[in-house]
């Protein structure tokens, strides 16, 4: 499914689950995560016609792709990147690469917001207002995008539901401990446990305990 492909790519680039969720929430609102989504025309062969140059893709004012690129210079950049890498303008991976390239090079404040994010809503608003720039920027529209982002965050990051006391193993924090996406202290934390807090144990590997994500075994212990 596109959502897993998109999440996996963006989390590697942003190294931040809040920022990744914020971007995906905006993409969901724009295109439903469909890289061939086009507005303003019923042309089923639009992508193929764009690839072959039959239509003036850059200047036809049709919003296109994951981001719904519309302004002519941005569509020119997307088409040029597709041609230079030998792929269709509707190619999912190509669009993800171009999104990161465009945001990190031409929208640096937005890229900083998603790579340093500590809140889905805050990062989502930045992506919406400074990168996507939709016509409707009401509070309702902002909240809708943030809610989409929260859905993806819950799907790919959030801890599983608190287990019922049924003899399952648990991990207890012996002091404050950071929660990380992978067992690597160089990876930015996605949360933390306070001393005495517990989460269900899943596995142990190389001195790390897997709960929903990973925590260091130096500051936690597995209990029955």
Spell out the domain ranges in the chain.
2-156, 170-223
Classified by CATH at the fold level, domain 2-156 comes out as Lysozyme (1.10.530)
Rank 176-180, 186-190, 215-219 by mean pLDDT and report only the highest.
176-180
- In three-state secondary structure terms, 167 is coil
Under DSSP, the state recorded for 56 is -
pLDDT band at 164 (very low <50, low <70, confident <90, very high): very low
Q: Does the pLDDT value for residue 163 go beyond 70?
A: no
d(CA 38, CA 62) in angstroms, rounded, equals 7
Q: Does the pLDDT value for residue 169 go beyond 90?
A: no
The mean pLDDT of the chain is: 90
Task: For residue 101, give the nearest of 88, 111, 115, 114 by alpha carbon.
Answer: 111
Stretch 1-8: mean pLDDT: 92
For residue range 33-71, list pLDDT tens digits in order: 999 999 988 889 999 999 999 999 999 999 999 999 999
pLDDT at 184: 77
Check if CATH label 3.40.50.920 holds for domain 170-223: no
Residue count (the chain):
224
pLDDT band at 162 (very low <50, low <70, confident <90, very high): very low
pLDDT at 212: 67
Give yes or no on whether 2-156 and 170-223 have one common fold: no
């Amino acid at each position: 499914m596109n959502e897993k492909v998109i999440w996996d790519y963006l989390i590697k680039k942003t190294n931040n689950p809040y920022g990744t969720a914020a971007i995906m929430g905006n993409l969901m609102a724009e295109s439903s995560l469909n890289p061939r989504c086009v507005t303003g025309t019923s042309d089923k062969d639009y992508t193929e016609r764009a690839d072959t140059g039959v239509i003036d893709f850059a200047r036809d004012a049709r919003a296109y792709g994951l981001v719904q690129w519309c302004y002519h210079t941005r569509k020119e950049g997307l088409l040029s990147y597709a041609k230079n890498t030998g792929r269709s303008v509707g190619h999912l991976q190509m669009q993800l690469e171009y999104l990161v390239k465009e945001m990190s090079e031409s929208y640096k404040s937005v890229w900083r917001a998603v790579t340093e994010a500590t809140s889905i809503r805050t990062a989502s608003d930045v992506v919406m207002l400074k990168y996507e720039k939709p016509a409707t920027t009401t509070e309702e529209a902002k909240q809708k995008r943030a809610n989409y982002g929260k859905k993806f965050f819950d799907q790919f990051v959030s801890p599983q539901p608190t287990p019922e006391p049924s003899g399952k193993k648990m991990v207890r924090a012996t002091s404050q401990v950071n929660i990380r996406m992978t067992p690597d202290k160089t990876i930015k934390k996605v949360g933390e446990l306070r001393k005495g807090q517990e989460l269900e144990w899943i596995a142990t590997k190389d001195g790390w305990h897997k709960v929903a994500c990973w925590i260091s075994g130096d500051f936690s212990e597995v209990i029955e």
